[in-house]
Amino acid sequence: MWLNLGCGNNPLPKPWKNIDKFYYPGTDEYSSTEEMNRADGDPKDFDWEKGDFTDLSKWEDNSVDKVNICHALEHVGYDDAKKTLREIYRVLKPGGDAEVEVPDLEQIFFTFRSDVIAIQDLVYGGRDSNVYWGGHFCGFTPPMLQQELIDAGFRDIQLRPVGFGTSKPEPDRNFRLRGVK
């Protein structure tokens, strides 16, 4: 079992099970959002499940081989992000791994330090009240996320190339860490 948590409009092909509570085939959110049309292939060609990545109670302890969570963890509060990492660790089989990709908070502020509007858009989701994409409710630097992974129980934490499971890799703004149970 491989879980792609918070997949949004970037589902991964089988054997990945794609989980998202908003972007799900057949829902108004999926069919009415232009951005969703970027997903490669027909939604029925992917294994989908509507769900909230902060609630992994459906999966038993040690039942999942691999987890990908790309540009989703920052869309919940810090306590929920930490809880999610602990839950990912709980459901992973021994030797299983998780990869987490998030914006690099330090790089974003360094890059846009003189553009307050750009920072507002990146952190809070923009100024257009007609568009909802959840905004960012927490942020990480690589050392911060590494420590949270360690606190959740992960070992052998490594920096990985960005872009797997996302539509636009931006290594100057994002980072990805892999941890093993």
Select the more confidently predicted residue: 149 or 43.
149
Per-domain boundaries in the chain: 2-103+139-180
Distance CA 151, CA 54 (A): 17
- For 104, which DSSP code? B
Q: Provide mean pLDDT across the span 150-179.
A: 90
Per-residue pLDDT at 64 exceeds 80: yes
This prediction's pTM = 0.84
Q: Which range has the top average pLDDT, 39-48, 56-65, 161-170?
A: 56-65
Q: Is 153 left (phi over 0), alpha (psi -120 to 50) or beta?
A: left
Summarised one tens digit per residue, pLDDT across range 98-157 is: 999 999 888 877 776 666 666 666 666 555 544 445 577 788 999 999 999 999 999 999
Lowest mean pLDDT among 25-34, 68-77, 134-143: 25-34
* DSSP bridge pairs for 49: 19
Residue with the larger pLDDT of the pair 169 and 69: 69
- Assign 108 to helix, strand or coil: helix
User: What pLDDT score does 35 carry?
Assistant: 46
Higher pLDDT, 120 or 87: 87
| Reported confidence tier of residue 67, pLDDT bands at 50, 70, 90 | very high
Dihedral sign computed on CA atoms, order 4, 1, 85, 156: negative
Fold category of 2-103+139-180 in CATH: Rossmann fold (3.40.50)
Q: 82 with 152: CB under 8 angstroms? A: yes
The residue with greater pLDDT, 112 or 178, is 178
Please give the share of the chain, as a percent, with pLDDT higher than 90.
Answer: 49
SS3 49: strand
